[in-house]
Amino acid sequence: MKDGIFDPYADRAYRALHRAGDLVYFRVSAGETDLHIGARRFLQKEALAAVLKARAEIKAAIAARPRFAVSFEPIKPHGTETELVSAMLRAGEAASVGPMAAVAGAIAEYVGRALLPQSDEVIVENGGDVFLRSSRERLVAVHAGSSPLGGRLAVAVLPKDGLGICTSSGTVGHSVSFGKADAALIVAADCALADAAATFLGNLVRTAEDIEPALDAALGIRGVSGALVIIGDRLGVKGGIELRLVEP
C-alpha cells in the first residue's frame, strides 16, 4: 500500500496474480485477516461480511474451548461446530496438527465460496494461502524467501471446482513452523486441508535430505493431490503439480 493505492505486485498478493488480468482486485482486512481478492466485479462489501462472519465463528469456537487457539495437536470435534470450524478440525486431524494451522486456508475458502453466487471466477489470497475457482488456467507463484528459486516458479492449475494452494515456511512470515523449509506447498481440493498439510510438510523439513520422505508423508494425507518443498537451492515436487518458470 502506497499513498492509499494498492499495488498488488508490491505485496504478497502477487503470488495469485499471474495471467489473472481479467479480474477486478480489492483488499479486505479485519483483525489479523488480510485478504487480497480477485473476482468478476467489485465485491468488497460482500467479502467483508463473509470475513466478519468467519472470524465470529472462530472466536466463538475459541471462547467455548480455549485450547482450539493454541493446540499443536488435533482436537476432536464436539459435533456442534459450524461447518467452518468443523473444516478446521477435520484438516488438523488429517494432517496431525492443531486446528489453527488451517485457519488461513479455511477463511480463504469460506470467503471465496461466499462470493461464487455473484462471481463465477474467484481468487482469494490470505497470507500465502490461496483459494481459487476458475474456468481457465491460473498461475500461483511460489514464494520462497531468500532461496534462489523464490519467485521463479509458479504452480499452474485449472481449478474448475475450487482448489486450495497453501504454503508454509520456516524462514518467511509469521506462521509457526518447526522446520527449515523456505517453502512447503500443498495442493488440495479443500483449502483448509491444504493449509494444515502445508504446516505438516514444513515441520518435517530441516535439511535437503528430508525433502523426499516429507513429500511422501504429505501425499499420504487423504485429499492432498500435490506437494512441493524448497530449501535453499534444492527443490522437490511430487503428485499432481505442474510447474512453470516465471520472470522474477
The count of domains in the chain is 1
Strand order in the sheet with 242-245: 138-141, 153-157, 242-245
Is residue 117 a part of any domain in this protein? yes
Is residue 2 a part of any domain in this protein? no
Is residue 3 a part of any domain in this protein? no
| Residue-by-residue DSSP string for 45-73 | HHHHHHHHHHHHHHHHHHHH-THHHH-SS
Is residue 104 a part of any domain in this protein? yes
Say whether pLDDT at 126 is over 90: yes
18-61 per-position pLDDT tens digit? 445 789 999 999 999 999 999 999 999 999 999 999 999 999 99
49 vs 39: CA distance, rounded Å: 16
What percentage of the chain reaches a pLDDT higher than 70?
88
Is residue 49 a part of any domain in this protein? yes
Query: In the chain, at which residue ranges do the beta strands (DSSP E only) sit?
Result: 24-30, 33-39, 122-126, 129-133, 138-141, 153-157, 163-168, 183-188, 224-231, 234-239, 242-245
Considering the entire predicted model, what is its pTM?
Answer: 0.89
DSSP one-letter code for 191 = H
Is residue 220 a part of any domain in this protein? yes
203-231 per-position pLDDT tens digit? 999 999 999 999 999 999 999 999 999 99
Is residue 232 a part of any domain in this protein? yes
Residue-number span of the structural domain to which 33 is assigned: 8-245
Is residue 1 a part of any domain in this protein? no
Q: What is the gyration radius of the CA atoms in the chain, in angstroms?
A: 17
83-124 per-position pLDDT tens digit? 999 999 999 999 999 999 999 999 999 999 999 999 999 999
The half-sphere exposure of 102 on its side-chain side, counting CA atoms within 13 A, is: 34
Say whether pLDDT at 199 is over 80: yes
Strand order in the sheet with 24-30: 24-30, 33-39, 122-126, 129-133, 163-168, 183-188, 224-231, 234-239
The CATH number for 192's domain is: 3.10.520.10
| Three cell numbers written together for 237 | 515436487
pLDDT of residue 21: 74
| Three cell numbers written together for 133 | 475457482
